Amino acid sequence: MPSAVIVGMQYGDEGKGKVVDYYASEADIVVRFQGGGNVGHTVMAEGQTFKFNMLPSGAVRGKKLVIGNGVVVDPEKLLAEIDMLTSIGKKPDLLLSERAHVVLPFHKVQDGLEETTKQGVGPAYADKAARFGLRVVDLMDDEILRQRLGVFVPLKLKILKEAYGFEAASSESEIMARCVLYRERLRPYVGDSAEFINDALDKGKNVLFEGGQGALLDLDHGVYPFGTSSNTVSGAACTGAGVGPRRIDKVLGVCKAYATRVGDGPFPTELKDETGERLREKGREFGTTTGRPRRCGWLDGVALRYSARINSVDAIAVTKLEVLGGLGRIRICVGYEYGGKVMRGFPSDLKIQYSCKPIYEEHEGWDDLSPGEWKEVCAKGYDALPSQMKSYIERIGEIANVPVCLVSFGSEREATISLARIFDKGTEPCRLQPTERPRRQAGNGFYLGQAASG
């Protein structure tokens, strides 16, 4: 029952969509387990760019897709993605958890009044926790739907009016009518996804769990309150998909070669200078869904080590390495200085987060190559990479104390070097084991064998 979870190790947008698409070649099933329409995953493959908010990135390869119970489903976005794929002959083979919660129009309104993403995700999770939510299964039954909406729609509309002065245009009956439309279109996909995934694992199928956002945005472990409304760490795959922790074999963390962040909140390694601007332009650091410019900075090793631990990451995929090309010297933060002391742990205290001074180590940079040149280098394999870049990659593994299993040099599938398969059990451990002591035990399920085909 080989299964792997792929999660972001930073503030999201690490390139999880690309890495999931890459490793989906080996998977039978790809599962989303948290987040909602606020997740934006990009896959560039087969000459096209796909942007997913609701569907797992395994969609491009035509894999069996599951949206687990931990997701808050935006029916409109989901149906639009289904329609888009169907129109290009890639109708998704989707199973939607009957236990997943539904984002309703007033959630988006509330989100728009409180925040900027307007995806309704925060309010939908808040209502779920307050037991005011509507599950997909409730949507399927007329009587229950009417009963549920009757309980919370008048209350929600009242809250919107009194707390925000917002006079909702839609009445309870309009919301009911909209829900009935969603029901008719979603019904063919709905089922018990936990049962399905557990059965598939029993049969030895390869299951890939796709995380959204990143560890530093996790509701519990991230930089509260500047994160997201769900748990984004690997453990959330269990609760958000309905599998026990012993059914997860491997955890793969995706780490961008530098750091980016969307929205407010502390960001110790942020670069508010030309270098930051250069990373933003060269790395095209603008939100997948919102187009908002992302804040950019140096790689934060303190956060990376923390992330590796709370996710129990077994191996790291490093993305966007080519973006650092031509910079001369490159920095990695290896500690925070605060109150005259050096901190190696990731602080929960916002005051420290805001005012700590990053301690950097410097690395020699490498040349700026064109996308075509990077693809040529990729085709030759890891050993053909510039030696400075190899040192940088190996240092990332060392800091996180886990091997690096994939390196990426562009958005396309081809701009990738895989150093390990994630599902096949070979005999050799993943190359690029970290050298720092104590060394994490090798043989954590990542094997060199033959690299994944991509």
Residues serving a catalytic function are 13, 41
Interface with ligand GDP (CB under 6 A), residue from 3, 9, 10, 15: 15
- Which of Mg ion, ligand GDP, none does residue 229 bind to, with CB < 5 to 8 Å depending on kind? none
Q: Are 225 and 264 in contact (CB under 8 A)?
A: no
- Smallest distance from Mg ion to CB 32, Å: 13
Query: Which run of H or E residues covers position 301?
Result: helix 301-310
Q: Binders of ligand GDP among 258-297, rule CB under 6 A?
A: 283, 288
Backbone angles phi, psi at 149, to 5 degrees: -60, -35
Cβ closer to ligand GDP: 153 or 299?
A: 299
Interface with ligand GDP (CB under 6 A), residue from 2, 6, 10, 17: 17
Cβ closer to Mg ion: 57 or 433?
A: 57
Q: Are 1 and 36 in contact (CB under 8 A)?
A: no
Q: Binders of ligand GDP among 31-70, rule CB under 6 A?
A: 40-42, 44
Helices (H), 93-235: 105-114, 121-129, 136-139, 142-164, 172-186, 193-202
| Residue 235 binds to ligand GDP (criterion: CB under 6 A) | no
- Which of Mg ion, ligand GDP, none does residue 44 bind to, with CB < 5 to 8 Å depending on kind? ligand GDP
Interface with ligand GDP (CB under 6 A), residue from 16, 108, 295, 395: 16
Taking alpha carbons only, the member of 291, 264, 265, 267 closest to residue 280 is 291
From 6-14, 180-188, 336-344, 361-369, span contacting ligand GDP (CB under 6 A): 6-14
Cβ closer to ligand GDP: 319 or 401?
A: 319
Cβ closer to ligand GDP: 8 or 122?
A: 8
Interface with ligand GDP (CB under 6 A), residue from 2, 5, 13, 120: 13
Residue 123 CA from chain centroid, whole number: 20
- Local structure of 41: helix, strand or coil: strand
- Local structure of 407: helix, strand or coil: strand
- Smallest distance from Mg ion to CB 13, Å: 4
Strand partners for 49: 44
Interface with ligand GDP (CB under 6 A), residue total: 22
Cβ closer to ligand GDP: 38 or 198?
A: 38
The reply to whether omega before 358 is within 30° of 0 (cis) is no
From 13-21, 113-121, 184-192, 445-453, span contacting ligand GDP (CB under 6 A): 13-21
Cβ closer to Mg ion: 288 or 388?
A: 288
CA distances from 384 to 140, 255, 326, 377, 378 (A): 56, 21, 18, 6, 8
Distance, CA of 314 to CA of 422 (rounded, Å): 10
Which residues of this chain interact with Mg ion, rule CB under 5 A?
13, 40, 288
Distance, CA of 445 to CA of 93 (rounded, Å): 29
Q: What is the DSSP string of 336-403?
A: EEETTEEE-SPP--HHHHHH-EEEEEEEE------HHHHHHHHHH-GGGS-HHHHHHHHHHHHHHTS-
| Residue 392 binds to ligand GDP (criterion: CB under 6 A) | no
Interface with ligand GDP (CB under 6 A), residue from 6, 11, 18, 97: 18
- Smallest distance from ligand GDP to CB 91, Å: 23
- Smallest distance from ligand GDP to CB 179, Å: 29
- Smallest distance from ligand GDP to CB 136, Å: 24
Interface with ligand GDP (CB under 6 A), residue from 12, 122, 325, 434: 12
Binding mask 403-422 for ligand GDP (x = CB under 6 A): -----xxxx-----------
Cβ closer to ligand GDP: 70 or 335?
A: 70
| Residue 320 binds to ligand GDP (criterion: CB under 6 A) | yes
Parallel/antiparallel/unpaired status of strands 250-256 and 315-319: parallel
Cβ closer to ligand GDP: 12 or 242?
A: 12
Q: Which residues are CB-neighbours of 66 under 8 A, at least 6 positions away?
A: 29, 30, 31, 32, 56, 94, 95, 96, 97, 193, 196, 197, 241
- Smallest distance from ligand GDP to CB 281, Å: 11
In the structure encoding, which two tokens stand for residue 15, read together? 């390139």
- Please give the DSSP secondary-structure letter assigned to residue 451: P
Q: Which residues are CB-neighbours of 142 under 8 A, at least 6 positions away?
A: 180
- Which of Mg ion, ligand GDP, none does residue 279 bind to, with CB < 5 to 8 Å depending on kind? none
- Smallest distance from Mg ion to CB 117, Å: 12
Q: Are 4 and 423 in contact (CB under 8 A)?
A: yes
CA distances from 397 to 149, 254, 317, 393 (A): 50, 12, 10, 7
- Smallest distance from Mg ion to CB 53, Å: 9
Residues that bind ligand GDP (CB under 6 A): 8, 12-18, 40-42, 44, 283, 288, 319-320, 322-323, 408-411
